[in-house]
Amino acid sequence: MAVPIQHIIESVHDASRKPERLILLVGRPGSGKSKILRDLASMRGWKYVDTRILITDDILEMVPKARPEQAPGIMSEALTALKGEVILLDGIEVLFTPVLNLDPMPLIKQLSRKHTLVVAWPGDYTDGKLVLDYNGRTHYCSMATEALPVIAIN
């Protein structure tokens, strides 16, 4: 496998000492991100989560303008209920669905202040920028990543 599991485990340990406990596992669709997350869940007892379970009825029923402010609290409660030392978050593409009216990266970063997250990012990491491959479209997410662990797989 292109990314040693041990590297991810070490990154989780390092991130545990930071305010935002977030590691991005970046790879194109089909690169094996989900398998790596499932293997980590099996080996370490960490919680594998499909992001769709975080889009609860409470979030769907609220006024779209309220979602960016209220969704993080609802999602954080759902993650807390899992009682996981580390949450392995897969399928984050759903957060980019326009009808949800969410700003995914700030949302994920906010969740990582309370929960240690390893997030499968579908796309590439190029020239210091995250590139999201979602529904055949490419989205560029410009953000400072020097303080954020990014593990790219091929």
Confidence of residue 2 (pLDDT cuts 50, 70, 90): very low
CATH topology of domain 5-152: Rossmann fold (3.40.50)
Q: What whole-number distance in Å separates Cα of residue 103 and Cα of residue 100?
A: 9
Strand partners, 138: 133
Q: Which residue shows structure tokens 């593990």?
A: 151
Q: What whole-number distance in Å separates Cα of residue 5 and Cα of residue 94?
A: 26
Per-residue pLDDT for 141 more than 70?
no
Predicted confidence at residue 97, as pLDDT, reads: 87
| Mean pLDDT on 71-99 | 94
Closest CA to 78 of 105, 99, 59, 106: 59
Q: Give residue limits of the domains in the chain.
A: 5-152
pTM of the complete model:
0.90
Of 19-28, 104-113, 144-153, the poorest mean pLDDT is in 144-153
Confidence of residue 129 (pLDDT cuts 50, 70, 90): confident
The answer to whether 114 touches 19, Cβ cutoff 8 Å, is no
